[in-house]
Structures are given as C-alpha cells and as structure tokens.
Amino acid sequence: MVFIGTIQAHFQEWFAAQQAGFSKVMILTDAHVHAHCLTLFLEKSGLPPETPVLQIPAGEAHKTLQTAGWVWEKMLEARLDKKALLINLGGGVVSDLGGFCAALWKRGMRVVNVPTTLLAMVDAAIGGKTGVDMHYVKNIIGTFHNPLAVFVDPDFLQTLPLHEKRSGFGEMIKHAFLASDTLLIKAMHEGAGSFLPLDAANLANSISVKTDVIAVDPLETKGIRHLLNFGHTFGHAFESCLMESGRPVSHGEAVVAGMLCEAFVGYIKGHIPLEQVMRLHAICTSNNLYPQLPLQKDDADPLWRLMQQDKKNAHSEVMVCYPDVSFSYEKGEKPPNFFPPLHVSVDRALMQAALDFYFECYRPGFSGQVLNA
C-alpha cells in the first residue's frame, strides 16, 4: 500500500495499528540521508530517538553484495527475527539493498519503505523489486519482496538538488509516455523544459501508472511489467558504462537517454510515430532540462557488452520493451491506464543507429529530419 502525504498523517496511525506485531524495529539509511533526513523522520514518525539505525555509504557504487553482507552482520548482532521490521529510509539504493537484505534474512522479514528522493518515491521504492549490482551490471542479483507499506512524503523534496530532481523526473516522464490517459504527457509537453510541480497530486498520477501495471503482472511473469523497463536496456548500459569509466550520471538521466534511443528503435520498427518521438525529445531536451550524457563514440562496444547482460534478454537476443502507443482498444472496451507493451530485439547495428540518433538529438537545430531520411 502506498500512502501519499505527510509522515504524521499516515505513518503514525499505521504504525500504531501494527506495532504490537513487530519484535524489533531497525532503520536502514545512508550517510547522506542520515545527515539530512533522519532527525526529521524520527520527529514526524513518532519513533523513539534511540531506534537502532544502520548507516551505509551513499551511492550506487555501494549497492553490492559486500554492503549487503555488512547489513546482515549487523542484523545478526541485533538478533533480528522474522517478526522484526526494517524501515528503509532513503533513495533507490537504500530501498533496493534494504529490500534485498530483508528478503533473504531468515527467508523474509518485513520491511517498510520511506523514500526521500523523487526517484524512490515514483519508482524504486514501489513494486517489490530488490537487488544489488555486480561488476557494474545493474541489479543482476535480486528478488521480489514487497514492502508492507510505502510512505511518500513530498516534504522530503523541498531541498532536493537539481541532479536528484532530474533523476526522479526521468521516471515520471517514462510513466507519462506509458500512460494511455494523455493528460500527463500533454502537461509535460506544454511545459517542456521544466519540471512539473512535485506535489502530492502529480506524484499520485505518476505512481498510479506503475501500480496499475504491477497489479496486472506483479512478478513479471506475463511480460507486461517489462513495460516499466522502457528506456532501461539502453539506460542501464549508459549508467553502468559511465560509472565504470569515472563519468557517473544519475539513474534517471541515463533512463531519459535510454528512452530517446528506444523510442528511435520503436520508430524504426514502425511502432512509434515520429510525432511521439519528437514530443519525447522536446520534453527531455528543451531548455537543457536533460543535458547530453558524457558519452563518446568509442563507448559503443562496452555499451553493447553491457546490454548483452541485461535481465530482459531472451535466447541470446538483446531485448527492449516500449509502449504500443498506436494500439486502439475495441469500442466499449475499458482500457487500462497504460498502453500494452511491445518486446523487440535489437542487434548491434540498430543499437549503433539508436546511439547515433541520441547524439543527433543534441545537435543545434535538430528537428527530426534524420528520421525522415
């Protein structure tokens, strides 16, 4: 269950009703959130100041089995049993790693997510996907473990730095592109080059797209939940390649670049109209909302090697998934809140063409003419 509003309004009541069932409570956070958000959370939640806290280093580079091992050591020292509650307070790294540790601890302990970044609020903390990275391959080791609840408090966003806004808003753009209700994407297009207000209403609209997809395919067994990976085959490769080479970018920035590449693939395959590709381009690049990633032409080979390790691949083929935005429902049929997914394979040549298109997107005066060539 996702609660959107202040921690005082939702967490205190929820915890009071559940508290008797928890043997112990422990908070997992990172160094950055510990410094800026922990005191505020404790005040808002009503939890005692002496609540045990585990602090991990901040950043994707620490989302590893080594860090997970340290967390399990601390859980062992604290004698946490299956009835204990782990509160993941932080961004996507904390919810991913904390959920993973909870899922494997004594074959599953209970967990609650309190996201403090926009990315975690609209994406990472919701849906039960957990995992760690290995050899710069994103989330290659992981499992599903749903939190008992997710508490989304927009107050945590008031001091969010620009790069964190970009990271989370990238996932909001993705949700808007997936939504069959065009109001969200229309609002983004009309305000191209700027962020939507990060209020409860806009957060709820974005989150609802993800929760509606998950409700149909909670464990990704039907291929529908792959829709939420739009932009992620290319995006994860961008993120991993740039982190490995000392040019790190945020997850959302990488996903935005990935969406541009995968929308190009959809256009080439005849599934995504030029108008939609250019709408996405305008939303992402106007006013330099998302600057060009520090990619180089010679990154193509390492990017391809990373894409060959993607979790969605099947039968040794690199796969991408994007929405079938041209799909029409039968008259009288109630459509879901999202377009159906299309799964397509990408070979090395098409990957290169998509990468070339991405570079073209940032050429002064670009108007999509390369797509008509």
Catalytic positions: 107, 129, 171, 210, 220, 225, 229, 232, 236, 251
Q: CB-based burial of residue 363 (10 Å sphere; 0-12 exposed, 13-18 middle, 19+ buried)?
A: exposed
Length reported for the chain: 373
Contact 239, 249 (CB under 8 A): yes
- Of the candidates 252, 280, 261, 286, which has an alpha carbon nearest to the alpha carbon of residue 344? 261
Q: Which amino acid is at 80?
A: L
User: In angstroms, rounded to a whole number, what is the distance separating the alpha carbons of residues 232 and 255?
Assistant: 6
- Of the candidates 12, 9, 41, 13, which has an alpha carbon nearest to the alpha carbon of residue 27? 41
